[in-house]
Chains A and B, each alone.
Chain A
C-alpha cells in the first residue's frame, strides 16, 4: 500500500464520502445522486462495468473505499457524456469518473494491468514532454505497454492499418525523431508543475 493511501485511510476513517468530496474532481456532486440508474443504462460500455456509475455513487456513500478505488469500472468511461446529458440531477458524471480514476491512480491502488489506465498515463507523459501529442510514439508505446512479445504481436496485427495511415500521409515514420512540439516547453512544464503543487497543497488543507 502506498504511503499516500495509508495516510488517506487514517485521515478519513469511515468517511469515504468526505474523502471523495475533498479529493476527487467534482466529488462534491456524489451526494446528489438519487439512484435512478439512467447513467448506467446510457453508457456505451455499460455491460463491462463491474459497478456502473450509480452503483459507484451508492458504494461511496456506503464507505466501500477499497472496492471502489481498486475497481476497473471508472476506467471504462469513454467520455461520451451521454450520462451527463441525461442525468436528471445534472451530475457531471464523466468528470467524477475521471476524478475517481485519477485519484485511484495517484494512490497507487488502481488495478495494475488495466489497459486504459496504462494508455491514459502514456498519453499524459507523451503530451507533457513536447506540449503536443506525438501519435507515432504514442502508438508504439501503446503496442509495447504489455511487454515486448505482446508488443510485436500487436504491432504486426496493426501493420495494415499503419500502412494505410502512412500511405494517406496521416502518419509519418519521421515523427519518431523529434516531431511535433511547442516552442516554449519549459514554460509549459513550469505551469504544469505549479498547477500540480497547488492542487496537492489544497488537498492537504482539507
Chain B
C-alpha cells in the first residue's frame, strides 16, 4: 500500500512529558509499521476539551477548534484531519458540524479568526485515528502486519464515552460498539465478552473536581473487567486511560480492593503485535506494568 498522509492534531496530553505521551509514542510506532505519515498541524492549540465551558463561551470555544482547522487548511489542504485524543476529535468535529449548520456562526467565527489573520472553511474531514485504521485499512489489512500475535491475553475493550458518543465509530451501536474487540482479536488476543462497563463514563475531567464520585465509577469499570476475566484493559481515550490506571491505589485504599489492572491503548497492543520493542510501544509509560506485553515485546 502506498504511504497515507494525514493532517495531525495531537493535542495537549500527547506532548512530551504530558499525561498521554506514551500514547503518542505507540501511535508513532504503529504508524511507522502501517506507512502512515502524520503531518502535525503547525502551532495547533488546545480545544478546551469538555471542561473549558465555565470561562469560555460558545463562540470562543468554537474559535479554538476553528483556528486549528484554519491552520490545517493552510498547511495540509488536501488531507483529512486526524486526532488521537477523544476530546480533540470530538471538539473539532462538533465545531465543523456547528459551523456548517449555521451560516451566521460561520461568519462570526471568521470575524474572530480574522483578528489572528486566519480564515476557515472547515471542509476537511475530521477523523479519529481508529476510523483511519478501520476505514482506510480494515481489520484484514491490519492483521497482515502482525508478527507477534498477543496469544492468550484476555483484554477488556473499554470504549468509554467520547470516541463513542455522539458520533460513533464506523456506524456501530452506541450501547455495544465492537470495534475495539475486533481490533483486539485482530492482534491475536482474546476480547472478553459481556464487558458491561464498556461504554460507561470514568468521570472525565470531573475525576479532578469530584474525585470520590468519579472513583466510584472507575471502580465499577475495573471490577467489571476482572469479572469478565480480563488481564488488562484497552482504551482509545487519553482521559479514560489516565483515570482508570492512575487512581487504582486510591480506590484500593478506599474500597479495600486489590486492583492492579494494566490499562493500555489500542496503539500499544498494535505496536507490540507489530514487532516493536517495549520502548517503542510506550510500555515504559505504564504506571501499572503490562507484564504480558513486556514479555512478548522482549522476545
Contact = CB atoms under 8 A, between A and B. Distances in A.
Query: Are A and B interaction partners?
Result: yes
Interface of A: 25, 44-45, 48, 76, 78-82, 84-86, 94, 98-99, 101-102, 105-106, 110, 115-121, 123-125, 127-128, 131-133, 135, 142, 160-161, 164-165, 167-172, 174-175, 180, 182-184, 187-188, 190-196, 198-199, 202
B45 A188 contact: yes
A65 B59 CA distance: 24
Given A80-B204, A199-B58, 10 more contacts: A44-B217, A79-B205, A86-B174, A127-B52, A142-B209, A161-B249, A168-B22, A169-B285, A195-B109, A196-B60
Contacts, number: 213
Contacts of B13: 133, 135
B213 A187 contact: no
A191 B112 contact: yes
B57 interface: yes
Cβ-closest 9 pairs across A and B: A124-B55, A187-B116, A79-B50, A120-B54, A172-B17, A81-B165, A80-B201, A98-B53, A195-B112
Contacts of A174: 17
Nearest to B18: A135
A132 B45 contact: yes
Given A81-B165, A183-B43, A124 B56 contact: yes
Contacts of B55: 105, 120-121, 123-125, 128
B255 to A, nearest CB: 16
A45 B19 contact: no
B271 to A, nearest CB: 16
A194 B287 contact: no
A81 B162 contact: yes
Interface string B105-143: 000110111111110000000000000000000000000
25 contacts: A76-B210, A80-B165, A81-B161, A82-B161, A82-B201, A102-B56, A119-B209, A120-B209, A127-B48, A133-B13, A161-B246, A161-B247, A161-B249, A168-B22, A169-B285, A171-B17, A171-B18, A191-B67, A191-B115, A192-B64, A192-B112, A194-B112, A194-B114, A196-B57, A199-B108
B292 interface: no
A110 B204 CA distance: 21
Given A123-B51, A132-B12, A198-B108, A188 B116 contact: yes
Given A124-B54, A196-B59, A119 B21 contact: no
Interface residues of B, number: 67
A185 B174 CA distance: 38
Contacts of B21: 169-170
Nearest to A139: B208
Given A45-B210, A195-B60, A165 B166 contact: no
B285 to A, nearest CB: 5
B63 interface: yes
Contacts of B164: 81
Interface in B149-199: 161-162, 164-166, 174
A198 B59 contact: yes
B206 interface: yes
A178 B58 CA distance: 28
Of the listed residues B45, B161, B164, B250, the one surrounded by the most CB atoms of chain A closer than 10 A to its CB is: B45
